[in-house]
Homo-oligomer: A and B are copies of this chain.
């Protein structure tokens, strides 16, 4: 199940921490490492041998000061390994113990504001640690930070650079057809309009664990098979787009009690697979790929096609491509970057 999820969104390196975080929350709820332990804290539970004691760091592949994560490449007993560290979310149910059981070091005091460095008991301040060992080059590439460049694609660039590149690739969308034909994931479908022209299947994205609507993320996949992306859309597709917009919002209201005013509904360009699909995410949830440089509001797409039937055929579109993306090389070869 992991591979399709990665394929579906192409934000591979972002994915693991998110999963790790969700797991950490659940662990918290199960009380692992919780209040049952004494002050010193490590005695109550069987400890593993500290396998990381002999870990030799080669280099940091990626990190986020904002998310408190770090992806580290190194050697573990002569084998290539990747270690992923992520600090755990702060838990409301341990606040009382955290405040009473920690020590504070004053840093700054100014009027009503003061700042401290708080040293917490280790069992209240864990670091989620994932070890991949032996790790292959593919793992290293996957976790390595990739700089992106913004590409400017005119309508002509699409015809001469992007379209030939897409057609040469063997991007399989068999997994999409499996969903549309109910050969896979039929039990995950939230809503379907079976019409071959304007119909679609709505189902949760793999990134969403469906445990809370705070990070709601669904995908509408159209039944039509010949629309690769936003670039292919013309005013002919307005009934399809309006149908997805309307019925998708209704289905989400019915199933999740979330009104349209709490939704961000958009397409990606470039998409991560070339079969038309629409993203429905919770407004306020900073879903990967919802930035202005990649996302296009479905409402805007509809308006633009209403005023210019060939808007997306002719328009210059901007999007980021990662340094290792084959399409970026094609734009460079063509002298377009």
Contact = CB atoms under 8 A, between A and B. Distances in A.
A182 to B, nearest CB: 29
Nearest to A146: B284
A287 B104 CA distance: 31
Nearest to A259: B149
A25 interface: yes
Q: Specify how many copies of this chain sit in the oligomer.
A: 2
Given A119-B126, A132-B113, A318-B297, A42 B261 contact: no
A133 B119 contact: no
A114 B266 CA distance: 36
Interface in A1-55: 18, 20-21, 23, 25, 27, 32-33, 41-42, 45-53, 55
A34 to B, nearest CB: 11
Contact of A118 (B126, B133, B266): B126
A50 B283 contact: no
Given A125-B125, A130-B113, A105 B53 contact: no
Contacts of A33: 105, 117, 119
Q: How large is the interface on A (under 10, 10 to 19, 20 to 34, 35 or more residues)?
A: 35 or more
Contact of A65 (B21, B115, B125, B261): B21
A266 B237 CA distance: 29
Nearest to A89: B65
Given A284-B147, A292-B291, A112 B100 contact: no
B150 A262 contact: yes
A148 interface: yes
Contact of A20 (B20, B115, B133): B115
A57 interface: yes
B261 A337 contact: yes
Task: List the 4 closest A-B pairs by CB distance, nearest first.
Answer: A119-B122, A292-B295, A65-B89, A48-B106
Interface of A: 18, 20-21, 23, 25, 27, 32-33, 41-42, 45-53, 55, 57, 60, 63-70, 72, 85, 87-90, 92, 95-96, 99-100, 102-107, 112-123, 125-135, 147-152, 260-264, 266, 283-284, 286, 290-293, 295-297, 299-300, 303, 307-308, 315-316, 318, 320, 337
